[in-house]
Amino acid sequence: MREIHYRNIGYPKTGTNWLWKQLMVHPQVDARFNIRYKEYRNNSLTDYKKIYNDYRVSVNLDPHVFIIPDEDNTNHPKVISEYTTHLTFIFRNMYEVLNSMYNMEKNRNKNFTISKEDYANINNPKIPLYCNTKKIFDDWANCKLPIKIMFYDDLKQDPQQFMFDICNYIGIEPIYDKNIDVAFKTTINDPLIFEDQKLINYINDGISVIEDYTKRDLSHWKKQ
């Protein structure tokens, strides 16, 4: 019978694969679902919950649920609390996220032809997806679970403490495998150039919303 189901729904490029590997070696995690969450995405909600209830401790790390789907989808904030007990968001500087997403898409897709200038444009659909943080918080305001906000900056600074914080929050034994590769990089090759002041203001405003929500100083994230 499921007692704990931990789910992360933070930004992409925030160490989710690393966190997944850490949890995969945890002796108390019984249900180790696919990080891409697609294994059960097409099942009905009833079947989905039944699968989760078969295990005592389960985890599911999905870095792309900021796109709010229909209410009957298992990822919707109004229903996610029906099969989740612990929920986190992991935030990262949106300028870094956009840089990382651009480099990832360019490196894995030989047919990727979008220029840096076009990618760092206010019309890029990923801009409002990751930077309109007011919408993110408003969309998840209906979630019945408390949401623990975490930061990629803290993961970079002290991976062990970050992992311990996750385990303590979930209610399982703190564990950290130092042999799992840590590849948290902020140095960006061929970086995007943000010159449009309207775009810079838009992203900075999104950062300010996170500051207001979390009471954390993120002024070092902002561009002038």
CB 16 within 8 A of CB 90: yes
**Alpha-carbon distances, residue 92 vs 28, 63, 65, 145 (angstroms):** 28, 12, 15, 22
pLDDT of residue 38: 43
**Alpha-carbon distances, residue 37 vs 32, 34, 54, 60 (angstroms):** 11, 5, 17, 7
Helix locations, the chain, DSSP H: 16-24, 45-53, 77-80, 94-108, 116-119, 126-131, 133-139, 152-157, 159-170, 197-214
Both tokens of 113, joined, read: 């032809």
**Residues ≥6 apart with Cβ < 8 Å to 41:** 74
Q: What is the chain's pLDDT, residue by residue, as a tens digit (224 residues)?
A: 778 889 888 888 888 888 988 998 899 998 776 655 444 455 565 666 666 677 788 888 876 656 665 655 666 777 777 778 999 999 999 999 888 888 888 888 888 888 888 888 777 777 888 899 998 898 888 888 889 999 999 999 999 999 999 999 999 999 999 988 776 665 556 678 888 899 999 999 999 999 999 999 999 999 88
pLDDT of residue 176: 94
Give SS3 for 148.
strand
CATH superfamily, with its number, for domain 4-221: P-loop containing nucleotide triphosphate hydrolases (3.40.50.300)
Domain ranges of the chain: 4-221
pLDDT of residue 139: 85
Residue in this structure with the two tokens 């109004």, named with its chain if needed: 78
Sign of the Cα pseudo-torsion (111, 112, 118, 121, in order): positive
Global model pTM greater than 0.85: yes
- Residue 221 is which amino acid? W
